[in-house]
Amino acid sequence: MDYRFKKTERLKSAERISEVFKQGLVLKKGFLIIRFVENNLDAHRIAFSVPKRKVASAVKRNLIKRRLREVYRLNKPLLDEIWPDKKMDLVLLYLASEVKDYERIEANYQKVLRSLNNA
């Protein structure tokens, strides 16, 4: 299985991100919010966001973003289960004000995706 995370899988354009915020569907579970819109590309693209208002320290924000990225990277097969034929642009927002450990973030992420699958 491919657990890589290349540049083409990153959502970079500020314009596209604000489109996702405007048009995307929203789903909140625990301390994570996910927004997503279908794209017409060959791969999913994702952006991670940890608000400065919630986590003031740059070191902690970096750590959280790295854990979010790992959670996404190691759980990529889940996305293909949910959308076997489509590819999505996603934005993942972290809302807790403290640093959660990897296991709790992963559990929360899987919960969000499962509730997506049921809907």
Query: Quick one: DSSP state of residue 31?
Result: T
Closest among 80, 78, 50 to 66, alpha carbons compared: 50
User: For residues 8 and 118, which CB has a smaller minimum distance to RNA in the complex?
Assistant: 8
**Closest among 36, 43, 40, 42 to 17, alpha carbons compared:** 36
Token look-up 């997506």 returns 116
How many residues are present in the chain? 119
Which stretch, 31-39, 77-85, 99-107, 110-118, contacts RNA (CB under 7 A)? 99-107
Q: Which of 28, 43, 86, 102 binds RNA (CB under 7 A)?
A: 102
**Cβ contact 45:39 at 8 Å:** yes
Residue 14 is a binding residue for RNA (CB under 7 A) = yes
47 scored as a contact of RNA (CB under 7 A) = yes
Q: Does 3 bind RNA (CB under 7 A)?
A: yes
Joined tokens for residue 81: 């289960």
Among residues 19, 29, 31, 49, the one that binds RNA under rule CB under 7 A = 49
Q: Which CB sits closer to RNA, 45 or 112?
A: 45
Q: Is 23 in the site for RNA (CB under 7 A)?
A: no
DSSP SS3 for 50: coil
Residue ranges that bind RNA, judged by CB under 7 A = 2-8, 10-15, 17-18, 47, 49, 57-59, 62-63, 65-67, 70, 73-74, 101-103
